[in-house]
Structure 1
Amino acid sequence: MKQSLQLRTSQHLALTPQLQQSIRLLQLSTLELHQELETLLIENPMLERVDDALDNAVRLLADGCINNASVQNESEFKSPETTTTDSVEINPANDTPDNQVEVEAQNAGDDWSFDEAPISGPKSNQDDEDGRPQLEAAQTTLREYLLEQMRISIREPRDRALIELVIDAIDENGYLCESLEEIHASLPIDLCVEIEELQFALNMLQSFEPEGVGARTTAECLAIQIKRFPKIPFVTRRLALQIVQDYLPLFAQRDFTKLRKFLQCDDEDLREAQVVIRQCNPKPGLAFAAAKSDYVVPDVVVKKIGDEWQVMLNRDVMPRLRINQMYANLMKQQRGDTNLNPQLQEARWLIKNMRQRFDTILRVAQAIVERQYNFFTHGAVAMRPLVLREIADTLGLHESTISRVTTQKFMLTPHGMFELKYFFGSHVATETGGEASSTAIRALIKQLIGEEDQKKPLSDSKIADILGEQGMVIARRTVAKYREALKIPPVSLRKSL
């Protein structure tokens, strides 16, 4: 074989750095977007954030007084100036993400990209006496609460030490996670602690609040609470104790037929015992657990104005960026001949991509509201089938772009907060030849179960028959799948006396 040089021409698609950044920003959630932005602000000195949370912060001196000089200097430094903005048209409605708008530095010339935004100083609240921040009080833990009761009710140092030893073995649910034998085996022999002393310490602990703390099993926890409930008839209390101690699995399965047979009681007595048991708390220690609330901030808000549903971006989650004024003036004086040109280009790209991200989210949200108009008017039962391709074809975008936009982006509606993906669902054929959304079918199943007679709950087959009468023919296993997705128990666990 002879070696030779050959010249060939070919075409291929390449992702530019700006396009890669645009795709990455589009798929980020609001929290991830702000985290990414903080990193970029640190790395790029040309980029400046106008809506920084610390802009209006009040600085305090060592003695706790307000530093008025720093506030004044900040307001002088951040006074708004009239600047020129880049007239960049954002048009994300292209065929694919590869065809999205790109900003080229060489076409920009000497025009810099700025975002004008009014900056206001710290607002004074006349309702507050001193303007000091209100600090949240530290939450009392379960261990601290139990130790406090021990110090009040127990005086002997040895008994206190043993009770504190048992308290240390209590988990966050209020249960004793170690047996008394294990605790006894871990103690030094020279302390001469008997197992009976640990049992006494546990009995004292079980007399503390919250009721049921120190139990070793769920049955013991419920029994402790039932014994301490006031104003309960003796027969009802005895029957409730017998159920939780001997027949708790049958009670959890709501097998009332076997319960009546084993307990030899009628429906009225069993119903009264059931009311008492339901008043118990199976996890008494959770009341002292540190609650971690997860907050979701909507990206778009839907409101009804007149007869139309209007979609608006949530301005609170939209970062306001601009080019740093000091560095921009420096580059103008040196006619752009500095080492900051790459950072300037990256800052311009980021500002452009941020605008494009929120513009794309708004367009997709508007398209969803137009197609799910009945949902916003009548609720989930009026949801229509919708797939990503339908929105993509309407807006001239690729399905992957719609998928990125609808992932971890939330919409606030009069019916609640929903992820944008919630409005997409498969379809189920109807007898009339139409289609029904799977979301609407789940809403109907939830509505039917919510209105059922608890003494005679609807089975999955019965629900399928009812839906069939309304023209939606679905199988029993499909009803069971939707019911499990709604976290609704089966018919045997929904039955009551």
Structure 2
Amino acid sequence: MAEASLHQSLSQSQTLAPQMRKSLEILQASTMELSHLMQQALETNPTLEDVTEVTSLDEDAPDAEEADSLEYMNESEDDWRDRSILEGRSAQWTQEDEERRQRLYDNIVAPETLQQHLQHQLDLSLIEPNVREAALVILGQLDDRGFLDTKLVELASSNSLAIKPLEEALELIKSFEPAGVGASGIPEALLIQLERSGGTETLEYKIVRDHLEDLARKRYPQIARALGTTVERITEATQTIARLSPNPGGEFDPTGNPYILPDVVIEKNDNGVWGARLTGEHLPSLRINDFYKDMIGKNGVDSKARAFLRDQIRDGRSLIRSISLRQETILAIAHKLIEQQPAFLEKGPRHLRPLTMNDVADELDLHATTVSRAVAGKYILTPQGLMEMRAFFATGYQTAGGAEVSNAGVREAIQQLISHENPAKPLSDDAITKALKTQGIKVARRTIAKYREQLNILPSHLRKSF
């Protein structure tokens, strides 16, 4: 029911109601950000209380097993119990331990992720709903550098979208900061940056557009002759080009953040079965204080006070439901990832199979944009390491044997081939193409070159050692 109203509001209007905007903010928030939002709510809404702080004093407190149940999501408006007990709370922690740990988390500021940075810019954009939907799909496909590793025609097919709104959405994203996001690779990212700074007629722009290979090989005289200028001018231009960023999303690199915490953990239980659990033992457990609910119905309460409390209780209920929906949605997506990617969990990136957000959305009866918002900025701890949830979603290829391999799997295969090559005779892109074909993976040479660049691997002539 909540999901239906969420989708309806997004479809009908570009101006979201405050409660809907808050619900989306909670859905997109990381666990650490959610902790701050909940603490802020406890400080500003007097009708809210933290169950963990009052349980020891409240003889009528709900049984832990009952409170942990997500069945409250299916109860009617009248039966709603006004609380949301989040998974993972440990009974062994004392109140002093909880307060000490909360102070620690409150003092940690989680840096904004690239996805969140772009999402904020999208939220401020006045565009048609179908273009916004297409933009959310594209944002979910950008890699850590901000590059789009998938053709629009593939995104259109896998997400049941028309190509035109995808094209409009991509152009919009290319106008976002940092300059270069949405590009297909380093060359286009550099061109976007140069176009913003000086237009398309500058010497630097022409060098990158038409002579990038010569620039990499420092063939300045050839470039100068082709562009009708001097070697000195080419040298000056290369210094400007060198100051550009080949990695627009680099400033948001999650590996540079020591405070990244997983929102979900995937691990095997004692029976060897994969399972997912939310992290959130440090989060408050919210409910509406009975005192204020009773106060509304008492005689002698000022009408303004009654109206104020009614608004606060309504806002508190909305917050609790939004948090529960967030938790349930993220956990449901994690369980689908386990179903879809068992080979990856067991064997690693090479075995990550193609999967789209639309695939998961259909199975969960959600909208693809809801899945995109739910995984944005979220991290998942797997046996293969800590990774962004969106990394599970990628298009890919079908091998000659009928198996599916994702783009990440192809990059992993390229990485392995190059890591075992003869340094005196490094593999060319053509040689890599042929080697992958013997493994049943048919990929174009230009795609190999693009993936090699994404892996920050130099061309074969620059890798050669004597």
Measured against the shorter chain, the TM-score band is 0.5 to 0.7
Equivalent in the alignment of 1:316? 281
**Residue 122 of structure 1 is aligned with which of 96, 108, 131?**
96
Instruction: Give the superposition deviation at 1:396.
Output: 0.7
Distance 1:50 1:83 in 2: 8
Q: Structure 2: any 5+ residue segments left out of the alignment?
A: 1-8, 99-103, 105-215, 218-254
Residue in structure 2 matched with residue 204 of structure 1 by the alignment:
none
Cα distance, 1:388 vs. partner? 1.1
Shift of residue 29, structure 1, vs aligned partner: 2.4
Give the structure 2 partner of residue 298 of structure 1. Answer: 262
1:474 aligns with 2:451: no
Q: Which has the higher helix share?
A: 2
Aligned-partner Cα distance in 1 for 2:351–2:51: 42
What does 1:167-246 correspond to in 2, within 5 Å? none
1:362 is paired with a residue of what secondary structure? Answer: helix
Instruction: Indicate conservation of the 8 Å contact 2:50/2:287, yes or no.
Output: yes
Report the CA distance between 1:405 and its aligned residue: 1.3
Distance 2:256 2:404 in 1: 41
Q: Does 1:404 align with 2:405?
A: no
Which residue identity lines up with residue 311 of structure 1 in the other structure? A
Q: Indicate the residue corresponding to 2:37 in structure 1.
A: 36
Structure 1 residue 341 corresponds to structure 2 residue 318: no
Report 1 or 2 for greater relative contact order, CA contacts < 8 Å, sequence distance ≥ 6. Answer: 2
Equivalents in 2 of 1:496, 1:335: separation in Å?
A: 88
CA spacing shift, 1:393–1:19, aligned 2, 3 Å: same
| Amino acid in structure 2 at the alignment position of 1:416 | G
- Note the 1:280-291 alignment, pairs <5 A: none
Match 2:321 to one of 352, 374, 380: 352
Q: Tell me the distance in 1 between the aligned counterparts of 2:392 and 2:442.
A: 22
**What SS does the corresponding residue of 1:315 show, helix, strand or coil?**
coil
Q: What is the match of residue 200 of structure 2?
A: none
The alignment partner of 1:481 has SS state of helix
Displacement after TM superposition at 1:411 (Å): 0.8
Q: Which amino acid aligns with 2:268?
A: K
Corresponding residue for residue 393 of structure 1:
362
Q: Using a 3 Å threshold, how does the CA distance of structure 1 residues 295 and 25 change in structure 2: closer, same or farther?
A: same
Contact kept, 8 Å, 1:114 with 1:323, in 2: the verdict is yes
Cα drift, residue 22 of structure 1: 2.5
Q: Residues 350 and 405 of structure 2 are in contact (CA less than 8 Å); yes or no, is this contact kept in structure 1?
A: no
Quote the Cα distance in structure 2 between the aligned partners of 1:391 and 1:320: 29
Preserved contact between residue 30 and residue 317 of structure 1 (Cα < 8 Å): no
What's the offset of the Cα at 1:324? 3.7
Find the counterpart in structure 2 of residue 140 from structure 1.
none
Q: Distance in 1 between matches of 2:48 and 2:429?
A: 59
Q: Counterpart in 2 of 1:439?
A: 408
Is contact 2:83-2:285 (8 Å) kept? no
Distance 1:123 1:40, change over 3 A: closer
The answer to whether 1:419 aligns with 2:388 is yes
Q: Contact conserved, 2:31 with 2:279, CA < 8 A, in 1?
A: no
Task: Give me the whole-angstrom Cα distance separating, in 1, the residues matched to 2:350 and 2:300.
Answer: 62
Cα distance in 2 for partners of 1:435, 1:456 equals 31
Shift of 1:88: 7.8
| Contact residue 411 and residue 420 of structure 1 kept, 8 A | yes
Q: Measured at CA, do residues 46 and 334 of structure 1 come closer, stay the same or move farther in structure 2, by a change above 3 Å?
A: farther
Query: Which whole-Å CA distance do the structure 1 matches of 2:335 and 2:300 have between them?
Result: 43
CA distance in 2, matches of 1:378, 1:115: 36
Partner Cα separation in structure 1 for residue 260 and residue 411 of structure 2 = 24
Aligned residue identity for 1:300? V
The 1:315/1:400 distance shift into structure 2, 3 A limit, reads same
The whole-number CA distance in structure 2 between the counterparts of 1:368 and 1:335 is 55
Are 2:345 and 1:380 aligned?
Answer: no
Partner in structure 1 of residue 61 of structure 2:
83
Q: CA deviation at 1:120?
A: 2.6
**Contact residue 30 and residue 263 of structure 2 kept, 8 A:** no
Matching residue of 2:27: 26
Percent of counterpart pairs with the same letter? 36
Q: C-alpha deviations, 1:181-220, integer Å up to 9, x for none?
A: xxxxxxxxxxxxxxxxxxxxxxxxxxxxxxxxxxxxxxxx
Give a deviation string over 1:388-410, Cα, whole Å, max 9, x none.
11111111111111111121111
Contact kept in structure 2, 1:467 and 1:473, CA below 8 Å: yes
For residues 477 and 390 of structure 1, the distance between their equivalents in structure 2, rounded to whole angstroms, comes to 28
For the 8 Å contact 2:26–2:34, the answer to whether it is kept is: yes
- Alpha-carbon contact 1:385-1:437 (below 8 Å) kept: yes
Contact 1:303 1:309 in 2 (8 A): yes
Q: CA, structure 1 residues 319+444, in 2 after alignment: closer, same or farther (shift >3 Å)? A: farther
Residue pair 1:83, 1:114 contacting (<8 A) in 2 also:
no
Deviation of 1:308 after TM superposition, in Å, equals: 1.9
Moved more, 40-49 or 374-383: 40-49
For the 8 Å contact 1:299–1:317, the answer to whether it is kept is no
* AA aligned opposite 2:96: P
TM-score scaled to structure 2, two decimals? Answer: 0.54
